[in-house]
Amino acid sequence: MGGFFGVVAEEDAVSDLFFGTDYHSHLGTMRGGLAVLDGKGFQRAIHDISNAQFRSKFENDFRRFHGSSGIGVISDNEDQPLVISSHLGVYAIATVGVVKNAAELVKEVFDKRRVQFSEMSRGGINATELVAMLINSQESFEEGVRFAQEKIEGSCSMLLLTCEGVLYAVRDRYGRTPVVAGQKEGAVAVAMETCCFPNLGYQVCRELGPGEMVRCAPDGVETVLPPGNEMAICSFLWVYFGYPASSYEGRNVEMARYRCGGALARRNPVEADSVGGVPDSGVAHALGYAVESGIRYSRPFVKYTPTWPRSFMPPNQKERELIAQMKLIPVPGLIQGKRLIFCDDSIVRGTQLRDQVKRLYDDGAKEIHMRIACPPLLYGCRFLNFSRSKSEMDLATRRTIREIEGDTDDVAAYRDADGTPFKEMVGRIRQRLGLSSLAYQRLDDLVEAIGLPREKLCTYCWTGEDVSTPGGCSHGCARCGKPCAAGSAQAS
């Protein structure tokens, strides 16, 4: 997914930039970058963070950089921030999101000739450079940002820092990702995770609305492009992506996870000796389950945090599975002869979960009951780099549906948690994973746990419905106003 942090201050702000960006490390796995404006221009550093922490890679840059404004980014893909020279002036830019129609936009740009891209990322065009090119095609930053937001399919939040020290922050068109401004005496910072603010002395001063663009100076924040009316903030922030101490739209992640766990316990009770969470995000869901059910919380698997403090995503599946196994260490006394409930944020492919379940049985578990904090993932994310699923057909649900129906894209019938197809799908996944029982969160319970109105949330990965689809979604639902093809599958 990725995350960013930007700051403008009256005094040197490199320390805030360094730690503020570091607090977004859980959002990306591949690249980290900083651009700092000093008296002479931009200083910039980009490092590979795929096998090391952001802080260890940027320690030397932290010591040598000086300046009162800067932007930093944690990225899943491209090298950034980029420093761009254009008719709008010299500026640094960082983006978070995904440009789904990049190939089409690149072709449009190439067709106009006299244009080239100089930053290639893993064999492809650097998406941040493409966004900069769209901005540069217009007469001002405001017009350029509006133009880019209209052209991009997917989502794109951005930070722009001009060589005059003006910081612009932009939230993506439908607000899938949060962008929040914080303020302290003589400084304004913009971030995606509010958890970065308290330790740096900032107070949240405002959350940007969907598509809103603000200009930041050390003494305050001013809107230059107003927010749009439609919001579809990513529900998965509360389930998995987000850091527990952060809040988006005023709703805290940790507390939402407790409510998720509580709802799972009410709907899917089972007798057991203990409740545990698959680290990290499953832990808060499990605490909520334990409190609601009255079953004691325990940690049959303990994560080796000294060297696995953050997400690490090796490129090949075999290595990923090995890492998943190395991170978690079993505690035999909490497993042998026990009936265990486990909470996890979601099931993507299910391969890692299957291996963990096998290890628990090998260590003597009597029963394993899995409770999943969101509904079954049926559709691949089109709006963020949700890197855990490369292809929709890799999803545990899609593989199961293919077993039942053969090749089909019509999975609407599997969204209805009360329907027979849904129950058959979940039954087969349970069997494949070797679980004693398996239950998923219902969409209406998840929405209630988050605490925002349904129409402000993106739930595409469970429903296939989205506000950005022209004329509403292909399935029809309460959201787009068409008769619903999937009946009670739709939460409205």
Among 27, 458, 467, 489, binds ligand SF4 (CB under 6 A): 458
Among 132, 161, 426, 461, binds ligand SF4 (CB under 6 A): 461
Among 37, 381, 446, 486, binds ligand SF4 (CB under 6 A): 381
Among 235, 252, 346, 385, binds ligand SF4 (CB under 6 A): 235
Amino acid at 200: L
Using CB under 6 A as the binding rule, whether residue 348 contacts ligand SF4 is answered as no
CB of 461 to ligand SF4, least distance (A): 3
Determine the Cα–Cα distance for residues 103 and 292; give it in Å rounded to an integer: 49
Using CB under 6 A as the binding rule, whether residue 176 contacts ligand SF4 is answered as yes
Of the candidates 411, 382, 388, 387, the one whose C-alpha atom is nearest the C-alpha of residue 399 is 411
Using CB under 6 A as the binding rule, whether residue 234 contacts ligand SF4 is answered as yes
CB of 100 to ligand SF4, least distance (A): 11
Q: Which two tokens stand for residue 305?
A: 């945090």
φ/ψ (deg, to 5) at 291: -65, -45
- Cα angle for residues 349, 354, 358 (degrees, 5° grid): 170
CB of 369 to ligand SF4, least distance (A): 26
Task: Name the segment binding ligand SF4 (CB under 6 A); options: 24-32, 139-147, 378-386, 405-413.
Answer: 378-386
Task: Name the segment binding ligand SF4 (CB under 6 A); options: 324-332, 350-358, 382-390, 393-401.
Answer: 382-390
Give DSSP secondary structure letters for 123-166: TEE-HHHHHHHHHHTSSSHHHHHHHHHHH-SEEEEEEEEETTS-
Q: How many residues bind ligand SF4 (CB under 6 A)?
A: 12
CB of 156 to ligand SF4, least distance (A): 13
Nearer to ligand SF4, 141 or 174 (CB): 174
323-329, long-range: CB within 8 Å, 24+ apart, which pairs? 324/352, 324/355, 324/356, 325/355, 325/359, 327/279, 327/303, 328/278, 328/279, 328/301, 328/302, 328/303, 328/304, 328/356, 329/301, 329/302, 329/303, 329/304
Determine the Cα–Cα distance for residues 492 and 490; give it in Å rounded to an integer: 6
Task: Name the segment binding ligand SF4 (CB under 6 A); options: 20-28, 61-69, 124-132, 233-241.
Answer: 233-241
Nearer to ligand SF4, 167 or 384 (CB): 384
φ/ψ (deg, to 5) at 475: -90, -25
Q: Which helix (H) or strand (E) holds 342?
A: strand 339-344
Using CB under 6 A as the binding rule, whether residue 460 contacts ligand SF4 is answered as yes
Site string for ligand SF4, 385-424 (x = CB under 6 A): -x--------------------------------------
Using CB under 6 A as the binding rule, whether residue 384 contacts ligand SF4 is answered as yes
Using CB under 6 A as the binding rule, whether residue 281 contacts ligand SF4 is answered as no
Counting every residue written for the chain, the total comes to 492
Contact predicate 228/193, CB 8 Å: no
Nearer to ligand SF4, 172 or 292 (CB): 172
Nearer to ligand SF4, 83 or 208 (CB): 208
The residues in 102-161 that bind ligand SF4, with binding defined as CB under 6 A, are none
CA distances from 13 to 68, 69, 92, 164 (A): 5, 6, 16, 16
Query: In b/e form, how buried is each residue of 397-428, taking b as 16+ CB within 10 angstroms?
Result: bbebbeeeeeeeeebbbbbbbebebbeebbeb
Asked if the bond preceding 81 is cis, omega within 30° of 0, the reply is yes
CB of 146 to ligand SF4, least distance (A): 22
Task: Name the segment binding ligand SF4 (CB under 6 A); options: 2-10, 45-53, 210-218, 457-465.
Answer: 457-465
Nearer to ligand SF4, 391 or 420 (CB): 391
Nearer to ligand SF4, 197 or 238 (CB): 238
Using CB under 6 A as the binding rule, whether residue 383 contacts ligand SF4 is answered as yes
Q: Which residues are near ligand SF4 by CB under 6 A?
A: 176, 234-236, 381, 383-384, 386, 458-461
